[in-house]
């Protein structure tokens, strides 16, 4: 059975900087890289053969888990731990999104 994705909301009232998130990921041994999308961009359902960690730097993105009929929206500072093999889709919010991603 595949592990479930886990969302960790940013707990501070002030959103983190890109440098702060980069350091958090590096401290876990991850090699982060940045990616971004424009407003309302869509990713169709797919999965990956590796575990990934995503932090939202700015904007928002909604991930859907079609096999579980669930979705969740991430905003600045929020973290997604997405295990290998989890089928997911995504839609970017109105302000676009900038993320840092690292693979485990």
Give the contacts of 25 (CB within 8 A, at least 6 positions apart).
32, 53, 55, 100, 102
pLDDT tens digits for 6-64? 999 999 999 999 999 999 999 999 999 999 999 999 999 999 999 999 999 999 999 99
pTM listed for this prediction = 0.94
Instruction: Give the residue among 104, 69, 61, 66 at the shortest CA–CA distance from 88.
Output: 66
Summarize the confidence of residues 55-80 as an average pLDDT: 96
CATH number at residue 30: 2.60.120.10
The confidence score (pLDDT) of residue 37 equals: 97
**How many domains, the chain?**
1
Residue 2 has pLDDT above 70, yes or no: no
Three-state DSSP at 74 gives strand
Q: How confident is the model at residue 3 (pLDDT cuts 50, 70, 90)?
A: confident
| Residue span of the structural domain in which 35 resides | 6-103
With beta carbons less than 8 A apart as the criterion, state whether 98 and 78 touch. Answer: no
Whole-number Å distance between alpha carbons of 71 and 45: 12
Please check whether residue 50 lies inside any domain of the structure: yes
């Amino acid at each position: 059975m595949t592990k479930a994705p886990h969302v960790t909301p940013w707990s501070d009232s002030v959103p983190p900087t890109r440098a702060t998130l980069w350091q958090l990921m590096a401290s876990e041994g991850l090699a982060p890289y940045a990616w971004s999308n424009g407003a309302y961009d869509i990713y169709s359902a797919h999965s990956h053969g590796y575990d990934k960690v995503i932090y939202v730097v700015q904007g928002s993105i909604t991930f859907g888990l079609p096999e579980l009929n669930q979705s969740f929206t991430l905003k600045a500072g929020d973290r997604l731990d997405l295990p290998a093999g989890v089928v997911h889709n995504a839609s970017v919010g109105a302000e676009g999104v900038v993320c840092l991603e690292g693979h485990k």
